[in-house]
């Protein structure tokens, strides 16, 4: 009997050592040969977000020496992808490259119920970049400034229509409306570029959208850009005034991008990802890529991400209050 007990104890100890050793090996060998990393994108292929995620996924593949696959999971203003990551296995093979400022910060104020906890269900990796949104209108309607747009909207029944395909776009439009006493009707889009198509077809009057999606259209005079959502002008978007410069006093919205993994991902894996993404963010390729898209690099750390989330939670609460947006 005693011999059986000793044998059983030995077997259990061997299993514990084996499992522990396997876990350490998995962390040390990450990413393992034959396994790919999934980079989750919260918007559709061809969107500004998709362009952004694919660049960093390609660069991660180069520095990590392992395949990185972009998976697009659009829907519910980014919440579908966010929930997917939150519930994924915390092993480093599912990463979230996303505008945390508009999904993890703003989400709790925009929705009555989220199927994930923006803080507890994620581990931050590092920051990547920052960018404002841009107010655009059709180029052939005689609107060349914010006062022109406001005057035109006030001549329309119910002040016309605006489109949005993201949280930042919606908040920016509602702050704009509040500033000028407008009642413009919102039209939601699962894919932001569908809204741009409707804008160019004159089915919408204006839209706030990320510069990644529309910079080339503005350069080719297919869209007219009026202002950025940052309070002051940015070097990355020369020629466009800041919101405060055109009388929008309640707006200073800068979307920032960061990297996250599911909570409880082993710290050695998180550390590896932080090192790799900071290496990518500091590269000349990244600086050139961001500049071409109207964005600025934002090198940082997991702590910077957490600090920014904490700081901006209060700011977004106030933005949503000013915009009078009721949780859905």
CA distance 251 to 123: 29
pLDDT in tens, 99-156: 988 889 888 888 888 999 999 999 999 999 988 899 999 999 999 999 999 999 999 9
Res. 255 pLDDT band, cuts 50 70 90: confident
- Residues in a beta bridge with 161: 185
Please give the helix or strand (H or E) that residue 38 lies within, else none: strand 37-41
CA distance 160 to 206: 9
Name the CATH topology of 31-131+255-323: D-Maltodextrin-Binding Protein; domain 2 (3.40.190)
Domain 134-246: which CATH class?
alpha beta
Distances (CA, A) of 87 to 94, 114, 193, 219, 322: 10, 13, 29, 41, 33
pLDDT in tens, 149-208: 999 999 999 999 999 988 888 889 999 999 999 999 999 987 778 899 999 999 999 999
Q: Which of 6-20, 102-116, 269-283 has the highest mean pLDDT?
A: 269-283
CA distance 203 to 195: 9
Res. 19 pLDDT band, cuts 50 70 90: very low
Which pairing describes strands 94-98 and 206-209: parallel, antiparallel, or unpaired? unpaired
- Residues in a beta bridge with 209: 134
Give the pTM: 0.77
DSSP 3-state assignment of 209? Answer: strand
Q: Is 31-131+255-323's fold the same as 134-246's?
A: yes
Mean pLDDT (the chain) is 88
Write down the domain spans for the chain: 31-131+255-323, 134-246
What pLDDT does 26 receive? 53
- Residues in a beta bridge with 188: 164
């Amino acid at each position: 009997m005693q011999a059986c007990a000793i044998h059983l104890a030995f077997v259990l100890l061997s299993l514990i050592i084996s499992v522990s050793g396997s876990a350490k090996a998995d962390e040390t060998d990450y990413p393992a040969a034959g396994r790919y990393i999934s980079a989750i994108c919260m918007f559709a292929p061809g969107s500004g977000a998709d362009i952004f995620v694919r660049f960093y996924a390609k660069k991660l593949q180069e520095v990590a020496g392992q395949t990185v696959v972009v998976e697009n999971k659009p829907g519910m203003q980014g919440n579908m992808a966010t929930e997917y990551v939150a519930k994924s296995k915390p092993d480093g093979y599912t990463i979230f490259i996303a505008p945390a400022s508009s999904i993890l910060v703003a989400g709790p104020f925009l929705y009555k119920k989220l199927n994930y906890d923006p803080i507890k269900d994620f581990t931050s990796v590092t920051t990547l970049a920052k960018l404002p949104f841009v107010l655009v209108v059709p180029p052939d309607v005689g609107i060349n400034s914010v006062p022109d747009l406001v005057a035109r909207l006030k001549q329309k029944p119910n002040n016309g229509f605006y489109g949005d395909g993201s949280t930042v776009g919606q908040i920016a439009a509602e702050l704009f409306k509040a500033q000028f006493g407008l009642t413009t009707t919102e039209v939601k889009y699962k894919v932001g570029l569908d809204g741009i198509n409707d804008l160019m077809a004159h089915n919408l009057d204006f839209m706030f959208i990320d510069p990644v999606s529309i910079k080339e259209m503005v350069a080719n005079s297919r869209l007219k850009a009026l202002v950025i959502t940052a309070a002051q002008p940015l070097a990355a978007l020369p020629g466009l005034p800041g919101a405060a410069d055109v009388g929008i006093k309640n707006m200073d919205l800068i979307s920032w991008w960061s990297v996250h993994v599911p909570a409880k991902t082993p710290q050695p894996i998180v550390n590896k990802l932080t090192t790799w993404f900071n290496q990518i963010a500091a590269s000349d390729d990244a600086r050139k890529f961001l500049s071409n898209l109207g964005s600025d690099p934002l090198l940082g750390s997991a702590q910077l991400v957490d600090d920014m989330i904490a700081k901006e939670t209060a700011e977004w609460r106030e933005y949503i209050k000013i915009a009078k947006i009721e949780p859905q």
